[in-house]
Structure formats: structure tokens, C-alpha cells
Amino acid sequence: MKIGLMGRIAVSFGVSTLLPIFLIFLSSLGILSLSSGILILVLAGLLFILWIYMGIVKPVDELKRAAKRIESGDLDFTLEAETEDEFGELMEAFEQMRIRLKETQEEKIRNDTENKVLISNIAHDLKTPLTTIKGYSEGILDGIAKSPERQQKYIRTIYNKANDMDRLIDELNYYAKIETNKIPYHFRRISVREYFSDCADEIGLDMESKGYRFSYKNEVEDSVLMLADPEQLRKVVNNIISNSVKYMDKANPEVRIFVGDAGDFVEVRIFDNGRGIQSSALPYVFERFFREDSSRNSRKGGSGIGLSIARKIIEDSGGRIWAESAEGAGTTIHFTLRKDTALKGEH
């Protein structure tokens, strides 16, 4: 009887003791769970805020700063996309726009500089013949040129200088057409032999009057036709010859023209025995405004666009142009023209 009572007392004591502990445990567990939940929510909120900042706020701020820099004319920066989402694509597109704007700005600056160089060159080279024309005209008016021979010499000089001015003005007008892509091409089928024979006859007379030795050789068959604009092609030949004459430094000047077959193309070579071109300058001879002798006091003159015009015409005609030169030995300008192979032999 005592034992049973003691057992009930022990059980009662154990339950009454453990129940508060259990309740305290449950309470602590609830508080811990609540605290963990709150912590998780706080962390999730912070991560969400960070995501919004990195994914939206920061890109938008960078785009705003970039837009302000572009508005002020500053294009010397780089906009890098740090994500691959829509905002990353937007920043990449913005960066591509910045690059294109910078390229356009640099091209505009380059064109402005080149235009200033052109105007300076043309102004200088117009002044030289104008001074000569004025001097010889005054000589005639003042009676210095009394004999018919001297008067004829003065008049011929005035005429030649007027032609030089006319050529410079033509180059300026042509350059304006190149800048606006308004070169008036009229391509047609031309007999290679007939065309270059006519060119050689005209050039030969001019070279002879200047005291040059001139030779012409054509190895292309009579039936071969080429696709070209005869007027523009004549400008190519004249510009190359003019450049040869401009830089001639030999007592016995010489110009040779060779026309040969090059498969689907006709190759033309124009050689002179002038002073040649430095190897460092050779890659740039067809660039606009390039002049190996940059001194404006040089007697050579020239606008610096003659060979660049030649390259433009040849490339627009489907051919290519290049130069070979040795200092002191002369220069050879090569260019190719497309054959009219499909309609060969028809006129």
C-alpha cells in the first residue's frame, strides 16, 4: 500500500516537474522559429533590395550619368553591362550608340581638318598662278614685252597658268562630288585598244611639248572590251600623269604606259623615271590630302587629292589601284579594269 502511494507520488512529481519545462521548451522553440522567420524575412528583404539596386537602380543611374555625359559632348567613357537581362541589353545598346556617336564625332573632326587642309592647299595653289598671270599681264600692259616673240611667250604663260587654275577648280568641284557620293558615272562597253590608243596620242603630244620621252604599248587583243566610264577613266590617267610630271626631277624625263591582259581584268601600268616615293610614304599615296613634300613653300603645289580621286574612280569601277616605287628610280602606278567578258567582241 505504501509502495503504490509512493509510485503515484513519484509520477505526480515527475509530470508536474516536466510540464513547465516542456512548456518553456515549446515557448523557446516558438520564439526561435519566430526569430528565424523574421531573420529570413529581413535577409530576403535585403537581398530583394540589393537585387533591385543592382538590377534596376544602378543601371538606370549609370544610364542617366552616361546620357548627361553624351549631352555635354563627352564620349570618352565605357558603359559595361553587368547583367544579361533586359537592362543589360539596354546598356549594351546604349554603349553601341555611344561608340557610333564617337566614331561620327571623330570622322567629323577629321573631315573638318581635311577640308581646312584642302582649302589651304587650293588657296595657295591658286595664288601662285594668279601671281604669275598678274605679273605677265602687267609686263604686256607696261610695254615690257615689245617684240611679238616676247608677247607670244607672255600670252602662252598666262594661258598655261589659267589652265592650271581651271584644273585646280575642277579638282575642288570633283572632291565635293566625292564627299556627297554624287560622281556622275556612265559605264559602258569600251574597246580597250581604241580607248588607250586615243589616250596615248593625246598624252604623247602633251609629253612631247614638255620635253618628255613617251612610249605606249598595248598587248590586249583588238576584240577585248572593258566596262568603264570613259570620262572618269580619262581623269584617272590624267591625274596619274600630272602627278608624275609634278614630281619629276630628271634631266631626261620619261613616261611609259603599258596595257596588258590580266584574266578577267585589264591591267594598266603608268611608269615615270622621277624621284620616286619613300617606302614609308608608299602606303599613303592614295590617301586624301597626302603630300610626301608637305612644305607649302614647295614649287610642286597640288591639292593632294589627285591620286585619291583616281583610287575612288577605279574602285567604283570594280578594279583596284596600287603603286610601286624606288627612290631615285621612279614610280609605277598599276590599276585594273573589268573586262566585258560576257559580251566580248560586240560593239
Kindly report the pTM of this predicted structure: 0.61
Of 197, 208, 190, 214, give the one whose Cα is nearest residue 339: 190
What is residue 339's DSSP assignment?
B
Same domain, 284 and 329: yes
Same domain, 220 and 302: yes
Same domain, 196 and 324: yes
> Cα–Cα distances in Å, from 70 out to 63, 81, 101, 107, 255?
10, 18, 9, 17, 54
CA 207 to chain centre: 35
Any domain includes 125 = yes
What is residue 252's DSSP assignment?
S
Distance CA 198, CA 204 (A): 10
Any domain includes 197 = yes
Same domain, 251 and 322: yes
Any domain includes 129 = yes
Any domain includes 60 = no
Same domain, 121 and 204: no
Same domain, 203 and 279: yes
Any domain includes 305 = yes
Same domain, 227 and 202: yes
- CATH code (residue 238): 3.30.565.10
Query: Total structural domains in the chain?
Result: 2
Pairing of strands 330-338, 265-272: antiparallel
User: What pLDDT tens digit does each residue of the chain (347 aa) get?
Assistant: 444 555 554 445 455 565 666 566 666 666 767 677 777 877 777 777 666 655 566 667 777 777 787 777 777 777 776 666 676 777 788 788 888 888 888 888 877 777 777 677 777 777 888 888 898 898 888 888 788 888 888 898 898 888 878 877 877 777 777 767 777 889 999 999 999 999 999 999 988 888 899 999 999 999 999 999 999 999 999 999 988 988 888 889 999 999 999 999 999 999 999 988 888 888 888 887 666 554 433 445 555 678 888 999 999 999 999 999 988 889 999 999 999 875 444 44
Dihedral angle over CA of 162, 164, 169, 175, nearest 10: 170
Q: Give the residue numbers spanning the domain of 231.
A: 188-343
**φ, ψ of residue 186 in degrees (nearest 5):** -135, 80
Any domain includes 20 = no
Q: Which residues, 6+ apart, have CB-to-CB distance to 300 below 8 Å?
A: 246, 247, 291, 293
Final residue before a domain boundary, out of 179, 197, 222? 179
Same domain, 203 and 164: no
Cell numbers 590586249 correspond to: 220
Same domain, 218 and 335: yes
**φ, ψ of residue 20 in degrees (nearest 5):** -65, -35
